[in-house]
Amino acid sequence: MNKLDREARAHILHLLCEGQSIRAVTRLTGASKNTVTKLVVDAGHACTEYQDRVLRNLTGKRVQVDEIWNFIYAKNDNVAEAKAAPKDAGDVWTWTAIDADTKLLISWLVADRKIQSAMIFMDDLKERLANRVQLTSDGHRPYLVAVDAVFGEDVDYAMLQKIYGAEPGGEKRYSPAKCIGAQKREITGNPDPNHVSTSYVERQNLTMRMHMRRFTRLTNAFSKKIENHACAVALHSMYYNFVRLHQTLKVSPAMAAGVTDRLWEMVDVVDVLDAFEAKRKRQPKVIFNVEPWRIGSGYYVTVTMSDSEPKRITDTFATEGEAWRWVKNESVTWLYQTKESNAK
């Protein structure tokens, strides 16, 4: 099979990280849409694995968290009428945590906006920190439960509750409501009132909308699959943390945080991808298959690992197509969770 060379892959990934859509990249480079899409997914998994490993024992002192909205396949109100909508169609939120001093994107999570997601996000954030921090969030209530459950008293936590005016109407309905004030609330510990802010993480949300075409509002470039969306976020975080020169810091956030000692180029990201692919080839082969129930109706998914016998790993799906969509969209997550569970 033909394979893009190192420079071609770096060029495609760079265009994507600078906000070009997949179709625009295909016109600029001559690569097929399937090739570009597969490269995004592979690079996303490689970037996730690499940053999960190196973004540890971070010594930041001030962390800001926020969530940014988007949708998969269709907005929530349109999912019911959408044709062949996947199970994960609808609104999706990307939780982000940024170091206010180094601007490092410490942690992110693509999920819903409920308490369980807040717990997972905060647990991941805490594992990456080496010391006590001052944490600031907006007024989203799940933060109260999650921060208390994960950090306990080992954090200086404050909320910045913004107060908005009336919602704009008419032709201005897509414009946000005007912020008319903000209220600071000390929740846990002794946070410094001068540093109770979410400005940096909100600016990072703007960077995400500018550098990922699928985050642009009112276009048809939105994500069609949750896995592709999450992989695009992981690729962006790698570019933002390691490759992109921060205008104020004059270095990359990863350099400012001491994670790396040099400014990366996109070919370095490709090297991470190549190493990830080589490692994956050495791993035991995993085969997913869809089987019909012999008694009753419906289908289920089996997995065969190495020389083991096939094992059922899902409940019943109504159609064979739904079962195969699970394999395409969620099997990677299942494998990761299985490996994590076995490691513990």
pLDDT tens digits, 27-44: 999 999 999 999 999 999
Average pLDDT over residues 129-143: 96
In this prediction, residue 55 has a pLDDT band, given cuts at 50, 70 and 90, of very high
Question: Quick one: pLDDT band at residue 280, thresholds 50, 70, 90?
Answer: confident
**Mean per-residue pLDDT, 306-316:** 80
Region 177-181 average pLDDT:
73
Structure-derived torsion over alpha carbons of residues 11, 16, 17, 18, reported in degrees to the nearest 10: 90
The answer to whether the beta carbons of residues 253 and 263 sit under 8 Å apart is no
Token pair of 258, please? 């001491």
| Cβ count near 327 (within 10 Å) | 16
Q: Mean pLDDT, to the nearest integer, of 125-154?
A: 96
User: Is residue 183 very low, low, confident or very high in pLDDT (cuts 50, 70, 90)?
Assistant: confident
Q: CA-to-CA distance for 272 and 241, rounded, in angstroms?
A: 14
Of 170-184, 188-202, 218-232, 296-310, which range is least confident? 170-184
Say if residue 1's pLDDT is above 90: no
How much is the pLDDT for 170?
55
* Angle in degrees, CA 108, 110, 113, rounded to 5: 105
Cα pseudo-dihedral 42, 234, 337, 318, rounded to 10: -70
> What is this structure's pTM?
0.81
pLDDT value of position 187 = 95
Question: Is pLDDT above 60 for 74?
Answer: yes
Per-residue pLDDT, 343: 62
Which residue from 102, 96, 118, 95 is spatially nearest to 61, judged by alpha carbons? Answer: 102
Q: Give me the chain's average pLDDT, please.
A: 90
Q: Return the structure tokens found at 40.
A: 């995004």
How sure is the predictor about 327, in pLDDT bands with cuts at 50, 70 and 90?
A: confident
Provide the pLDDT confidence category of residue 2 given band limits of 50, 70 and 90.
low
pLDDT at 168: 62
Query: CA-based Rg of the chain, rounded to a whole angstrom?
Result: 21
Mean pLDDT over residues 185-202, rounded? 95
